[in-house]
């Protein structure tokens, strides 16, 4: 007897479409045919055949988040720049050199540690908000971050009171005297600055960059007022102005969080959350934060070490290098704004179990990074005669900066900014890869070259900057290699498009092994019981990455 031919069924048959929301849910998750993008075949290799071009709404959301974040970041970096300009114009090159040494040590030994660990909020807080707009985990995470900030900053504040004997053998008596006074005056600036940064990251995770902008505006206005009336040329006056700015900013941020109706921090328990001292939750926080700390410090410390090289040449070279580094930081703050907006959108999408959206936001952030970084490079070249006049009245400094502006612009190349910002949008494996690339390139190539050109060949700031550019020339290929080799299998799995069967069951079912099903079930049960699971998406993806780390990308696609 002949077997009747089975009727071919559509893969969507059997899925109830009882409402327009069901149709939107299916449309959001179903993979569409590949279409070329600005980044071409590389994006297709990275994200798989299911990649879908970002919608106009996604681009609008990214722009709406990026613009106020960029302005807020520029204003935040302007606080140090503003205090530095008053010290330089009223105290001369010697005071500016002392200020540069002091604030660079403050940034290296203190600020970088706090901001690096607080980077855990970029991943944990954004995913927590993606799961629920009133998630009480946000307040718990912020309190845990503030606790870590206090533990990190307290011993450093004590150490900064006794730095002169340590600095004199390295910088000489005059520079050490002024720098130690700057550090001693930072006893309030350091902890408050780190705490404000944690609050800002929590606000960014909630798509509230306007609150960050308002707080930073109040802070920079306070810094300008105190600088104008208090700084008399002594470098320690700049630290007092920055402390006043942080106090004003902290008060403004707390008031904005309390009164803004959309701030999810109001739904948590204050001032001490019941799970604040939970050991497991703290381990999760540090597991995510420490790799970010290593990546940030590896690059930040390399920049600040250049001040030591410049001091070996002359105080004038310290002043010139200070202008170069301040300009570079301001330009990086623009690209950082786009990166923050991208990481928030990606984290929200993953927390809401929308990997297709996360994939699209990933590409939008890359393209926007290219655009804004090209603009900042052009701004350096066009403003090379004006920028140094913000910091000093010495014509020699202005003339030297104008001649090396092209070298300064090379530090902010679009390719390097785009690729280097990618890891900070992804969880732990990518951040670890970025940390390794920074350690290998900057510390084994860039720093030795800077010493050789700047100190040994006595080329001064120009040689120091050329050496740093040489390190970046090594870092970019390493980052490209990390971004196109085995670590991309992690990104593909993290942003894996859902199948129709998964849409029908309203949750993704991992397809590699049984352990992943158990992990996902435990993940859902954890959130249903109100656990602090900010890193669950990260941890499950990391477990899958370890299980399949030898599996080639072609097999995954």
Collect all residues with Cβ–Cβ distance below 8 Å to 408 and sequence separation of at least 6: 324, 327, 328, 380, 401, 465
Is residue 557 classed as helix, strand or coil in its secondary structure? coil
Please say if the pLDDT value at position 13 is more than 70.
no
pLDDT at position 123 is 81
pLDDT of residue 94: 86
Check pLDDT > 90 for residue 107. Answer: no
Buried b (16+ CB within 10 A) or exposed e, 353-372: bbbbbbbbbbbbbbbbbbeb
Mean pLDDT over all residues of the chain? Answer: 74
Angle 339-342-344 (CA atoms, 0-180°, nearest 5)?
110
Q: Note the pLDDT tens digit of each residue in 220-235.
A: 999 999 999 988 878 9
- Indicate the range of 115-119, 161-165, 369-373 predicted with least confidence: 369-373
DSSP conformation class of 445: I
Token code pair at residue 323: 């202008």
End-to-end CA distance of the chain: 42
Say how far apart CA 88 and CA 94 lie, in whole Å.
8
Higher-confidence residue of 109 and 145: namely 145
Res. 193 pLDDT band, cuts 50 70 90: very high
**Taking 80 as the threshold, does the pLDDT of residue 351 lie above it?**
no
Short-list 267, 321, 231, CA closest to 137: 267
With a cut of 60, say whether residue 525 has pLDDT above it: no
| Phi, then psi, of 83 in degrees rounded to 5 | -65, -40
On the question of pLDDT at 363 being above 70, the answer is yes
- 289-347 pLDDT, tens digit per residue, is 887 787 777 777 777 788 888 888 887 888 888 788 778 777 777 777 787 788 788 87
* Buried b or exposed e, range 34-57, using 16+ CB within 10 angstroms: beebeeeeebbbbbbebbbbbeee
Portion of the chain with pLDDT greater than 70, in percent: 71
Which residue has 């079930």 as its token pair? 521
> Which residue, among 51, 88, 53, has the nearest Cα to 231 in the 3D structure?
88
pLDDT score of 483 = 55
């Amino acid at each position: 007897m002949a077997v009747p031919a089975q009727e071919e069924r559509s893969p969507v048959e059997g899925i109830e479409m009882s409402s327009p929301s069901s149709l939107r849910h299916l449309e959001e998750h179903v993979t569409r045919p590949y279409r070329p993008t600005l980044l071409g075949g590389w994006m297709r290799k990275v994200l798989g055949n299911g990649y879908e071009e970002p919608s106009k709404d996604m681009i609008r959301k990214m722009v709406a988040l990026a613009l106020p974040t960029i302005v807020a970041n520029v204003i935040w970096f302007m606080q140090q720049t503003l205090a530095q300009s008053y010290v330089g114009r009223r105290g001369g090159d010697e005071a500016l050199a002392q200020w540069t040494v002091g604030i660079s040590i403050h940034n290296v030994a203190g600020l970088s540690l706090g901001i690096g660990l607080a980077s855990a909020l970029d991943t944990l807080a954004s995913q927590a908000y993606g799961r629920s707009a009133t998630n009480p985990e946000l307040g718990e995470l912020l309190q845990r971050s503030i606790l870590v900030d206090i533990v990190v900053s307290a011993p450093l504040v004590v150490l900064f009171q006794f730095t002169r004997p340590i600095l004199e053998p390295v910088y000489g008596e005059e520079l050490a005297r002024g720098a130690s006074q700057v550090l001693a005056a930072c006893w309030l600036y350091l902890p408050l600055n780190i705490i404000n940064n944690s609050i800002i990251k929590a606000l960014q995770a909630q798509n509230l960059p306007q609150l960050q902008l308002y707080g930073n505006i109040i802070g920079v206005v306070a810094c300008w007022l105190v600088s104008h009336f208090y700084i008399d040329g002594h470098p320690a006056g700049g630290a007092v102005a920055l402390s006043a700015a942080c106090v004003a900013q902290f008060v403004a941020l707390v008031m904005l969080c309390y009164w803004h109706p959309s701030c999810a921090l109001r739904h948590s328990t204050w001032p001490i959350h019941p799970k604040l001292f939970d050991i497991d939750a703290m381990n999760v926080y540090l597991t995510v934060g420490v790799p970010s700390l290593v990546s940030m410090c590896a690059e930040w410390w390399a920049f600040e070490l250049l001040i030591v090289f410049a001091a070996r040449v002359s105080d004038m070279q310290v002043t010139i290098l200070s202008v170069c580094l301040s300009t570079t930081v301001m330009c990086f703050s623009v690209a950082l704004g786009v990166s923050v907006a991208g990481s928030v959108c990606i984290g929200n999408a993953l927390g809401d179990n929308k990997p297709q959206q996360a994939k699209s936001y990933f590409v939008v952030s890359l393209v926007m990074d290219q655009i804004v970084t090209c603009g900042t490079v052009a701004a350096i070249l066009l403003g090379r005669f004006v920028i140094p006049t913000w910091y000093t009245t010495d014509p020699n400094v202005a003339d030297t900066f104008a001649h090396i502006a092209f070298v300064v612009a090379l530090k902010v190349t679009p390719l390097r900014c785009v690729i280097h910002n990618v890891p900070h949008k992804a969880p732990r494996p990518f951040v670890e890869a970025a940390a390794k690339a920074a350690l290998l390139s900057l510390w084994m190539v860039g720093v030795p070259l800077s010493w050789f050109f700047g100190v040994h060949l006595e080329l001064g700031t120009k040689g120091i900057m050329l050496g740093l550019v040489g390190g970046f020339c090594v870092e970019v290929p390493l980052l490209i290699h990390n971004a196109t080799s085995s670590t991309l299998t992690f990104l593909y799995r993290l942003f894996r498009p859902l199948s129709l069967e998964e849409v029908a069951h309203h949750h993704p079912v991992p397809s590699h092994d049984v352990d992943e099903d158990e992990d996902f079930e435990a993940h859902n049960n954890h959130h249903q019981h109100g656990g602090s699971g900010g890193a669950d998406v990260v941890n499950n993806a990391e477990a899958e990455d370890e299980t399949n780390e030898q599996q080639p990308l072609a097999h995954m696609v």
